[in-house]
Structure 1
Amino acid sequence: MTPRPHTLAVRIRDRLRLLIVEQGLRPGDKLPSENELMNLFDAGRTSIREAFKLLEQEGVIQARHGDGRYLTAQPSLDRPLTRLEGVTEMLASRGFTADDTVLDVASVEPDRHQREVLRLAPGETIVRLERLRRHRDDALLYSIDLFPRRLVRLPLDEVDWSGSLFQLLTEHGHTIAYAVTQVRAVTLDSVQAERIGGAEAGGAWLLLIQTHHDSAGRPLLFSQDYHRGTDFSFHLVRRRD
């Protein structure tokens, strides 16, 4: 069965995102031409143009008449809420080079809520990972991730915690398939602002509280991600029953 054009365009769009990351393209860099991508992806011109259009609508690229497409100088961080991706992948797909600072990582005893959310057995401990992402010295995203200690059995000081947590869990045999997400508009209190450093207390942030599951429905990760409201937005499509 031949895939519908819009479905193929979405697939090509995703391949273009990956190409941007693999080639290390930066804001302002020119993308390959339509002809080059037709050969690379073995796709028709219409599908390539539809994929370009999707990226333009998302603020990733801009078209210059007669001169091709370029990564936007100020990439938008507007994201579809229905798309599940790690923070590392999200920032990379938008052309952001983010400094990832590990503020703290430790094996701790879970509280009652954390034990229930992660369905922990009596006596199980969790890893608490606290990180900060900055772009050009600006705090973009502050995150707290919690997951069962048994999922990564290496000593904590032997793990590189600055990369993709999704990828790390996958490498240890635990692949995240979906997440249940709650979105809140919040402001930082003085303690949080001081923890992040350089962030203004009372500033607007978007908080995503998520429980991530594997394909069998087992909870693997509980996360709280604070996205700076001036840089992030999320969109979704809602339908009537």
Structure 2
Amino acid sequence: MTRRQPTLAVQVRDRIRALIVEQGLRAGDRLPSENELIALFDVGRTSIREALKLLEQEGLIQARHGDGRYLTSQPSLDRPLTRLEGVTEMLASRGHTADNTVLDVAAAEPSRHQRELLQLPPGETVVRLERLRRHRDDALLYSIDLFPRSLVGRPLDEVDWTGSLFGLLTEYGHDIAYAVAQVRAVTLGEAQAGRIGGADADGAWLLLTQTHHDSAGRPLLYSQDYHRGTDFSFHLVRRRD
């Protein structure tokens, strides 16, 4: 089935949201004018106005008669929970050019729980990858990934761990097809807060815990992604049978 492409107005809305983040606009700041947005995105006035109307309906901006439109709150990264995507792809889709800092990467002995989740044979170790994504100076996402050491047949210090982990595993012939996920709100522990540092560690975070599988059902990756609650939200569609 061919996936329907979002309308032009929705595409422009998402580009405006990304522009707000890129320019570091805060609540109370004035958005670029319609003419500036038309020139910037090379689209017609109707599409710009429809996109701005969508942002008004979301409560992100407010129109002031004769004085333009102003930001009322910070845009969040809202993603469908049913869509499986890596963190790098998710941030890029919203126009975020996040700095990806590798805090630690090492081969480690898995716990009994991790061994069972990844269905590891006796003696198999895991790679434990710990990373932090920042946009400008703000911490957006702290992640811990574990996968069988045998999936990447190179010395760990020869691998670039700053890019997409999904993409890296695909390079080695391991395609992730689906994941079993759980999301819940948490506050960071002392050790986790210390890894992030500063006021960024305060408040609620959304912990997305996932076990990723290939098309044959083999577990390839266990991940714990801590999303800053003020910047991320997830949605899903619920139906009655």
TM bucket normalised to smaller? 0.7 to 0.9
Q: Report the alpha carbon displacement of residue 202 of structure 1 after superposing the two structures with TM.
A: 5.1
Residue 170 of structure 1 aligns to a residue in which SS?
helix
Aligned Cα root-mean-square deviation (Å) = 3.6
Query: CA offsets, 1:78-124, max 9 Å, x none?
Result: 11111111000111111111111100000011110000000000000
Q: Which runs of 5+ in 1 are unaligned?
A: 21-25, 35-47, 65-72
Residue 82 of structure 1 aligns to a residue in which SS?
coil
Classify 1:179/1:199 alpha carbon distance in 2 versus 1 (closer, same or farther; 3 Å). Answer: farther
Classify 1:233/1:162 alpha carbon distance in 2 versus 1 (closer, same or farther; 3 Å). Answer: same
CA distance in 2: counterparts of 1:204 and 1:232, whole angstroms: 11
Classify 1:177/1:12 alpha carbon distance in 2 versus 1 (closer, same or farther; 3 Å). Answer: farther
CA distance in 1: counterparts of 2:57 and 2:157, whole angstroms: 38
CA distance in 2: counterparts of 1:235 and 1:160, whole angstroms: 32
Residue 177 of structure 2 is aligned to residue 160 of structure 1 = no
Residue 191 of structure 2 is aligned to residue 191 of structure 1 = yes
CA contact (8 A) 1:126 1:148 kept: yes
Classify 1:75/1:97 alpha carbon distance in 2 versus 1 (closer, same or farther; 3 Å). Answer: farther
Give me the identity figure in percent. 72
Q: Which runs of 4+ in 1 moved over 2 A?
A: 7-16, 26-34, 55-59, 73-76, 199-202
* Alignment-derived partner of residue 9 in structure 1: 5
* Alignment-derived partner of residue 135 in structure 1: 135
Residue 174 of structure 1 aligns to a residue in which SS?
coil
Classify 1:199/1:121 alpha carbon distance in 2 versus 1 (closer, same or farther; 3 Å). Answer: farther
Letter in 1 for 2:41: L
How many residue pairs get aligned? The number is 210
Classify 1:89/1:232 alpha carbon distance in 2 versus 1 (closer, same or farther; 3 Å). Answer: same
Residue 116 of structure 1 aligns to a residue in which SS?
helix
CA contact (8 A) 2:139 2:200 kept: no
Q: Report the alpha carbon displacement of residue 216 of structure 1 after superposing the two structures with TM.
A: 0.8
CA distance in 1: counterparts of 2:216 and 2:56, whole angstroms: 34
Classify 1:151/1:203 alpha carbon distance in 2 versus 1 (closer, same or farther; 3 Å). Answer: same
Q: Report the alpha carbon displacement of residue 136 of structure 1 after superposing the two structures with TM.
A: 1.5
Residue 162 of structure 2 aligns to a residue in which SS?
coil
Letter in 2 for 1:126: V
Residue 43 of structure 2 is aligned to residue 33 of structure 1 = yes
CA distance in 2: counterparts of 1:132 and 1:123, whole angstroms: 29
Q: Which runs of 5+ in 2 are unaligned?
A: 17-21, 24-31, 64-72
- TM superposition score normalised by structure 1: 0.74
CA distance in 1: counterparts of 2:226 and 2:57, whole angstroms: 21
